[in-house]
Structure 1
Amino acid sequence: MSKVEFYRSLTSQIAGLTDGEPDLIANLSNVSALLNQSLSDLNWVGFYLRRTDDELVLGPFQGKPACIRIPVGKGVCGTAVATGKIQRVADVHAFPGHIACDGASNSEIVLPIYCQGQVVAVLDIDSPLFDRFDEEDEAGLANMIAVLENFSWNR
């Protein structure tokens, strides 16, 4: 199966898994579990929720215990919020201001999630491999984010 087909299937699974379920935390928990189970060579996958204009708070995830609060503009996750753009980092140790929650992480991809024109959360995926995420991963995950943006983000 090609990566395009893989991500199309994964997106379909997420849509089916969350269809009709209004609870945000339940949905994010299942999505993080499915991604952890389906994607190879990961050591952390989960969500940071934007609770204030200047801070992200740890949400549902799979992996080792993580940093609980991340300031907007700091680290890869905070940069994704501040810029509103996907951050695909081949070597996190070369990323200025990287926040090392797990020293085993070597590459990372962070995707902002929008609701009503505002970044409300990020999907954060870490790998112990350098340069784990390529353009096809980024495109596939970006398409998947559209399903997440349909969730009810009112807390």
Structure 2
Amino acid sequence: MITVIQRVNTASVTVDRQIIGRIDRGIMALVAVEKEDAPRQADRLLERILTYRIFPDGDGRMNLSLQNIGGGLLLVPQFTLAADTDKGSRPSFTSAAPPEHGRELFAYLQQRATSIYPDVQFGRFGADMQVALVNDGPVTFTLRTHASI
């Protein structure tokens, strides 16, 4: 699985002019499922998102995690992160999971996140979403879990 995490002051997802997910200070994570991904990759990705130290401590150093600060988590499905952009001028999605597998694994990620973290919101798989955020820093990282774990 692939995610782009962004430290945000606020973030929201709108579908059909309705806000379906909104957080204040925390992490917005764009998440892509690849063909070979399974629940263990989703578990590992969630663990990394919750514990990745990207928030400043009292000295201004990135030493605190989302769990440490009790911030919000907004998980947004985005299959385009799995694009192969190495050749040509058009992306290839050969490594992205088929839609049903992606939907299933994102639903698993939603269930796991809800069961272990109190402040979590979601985008909607397969929807035309409008995503708004105020990136704090800006601080942005790409995290990846591989099928070999």
Q: Structure 1 length normalisation: TM-score?
A: 0.27
Greater strand share, structure number: 2
RCO higher in structure (CA 8 A, sep ≥6): 2
Query: Going by fraction, where is helix more abundant, 1 or 2?
Result: 1
TM normalised by structure 2 equals: 0.28
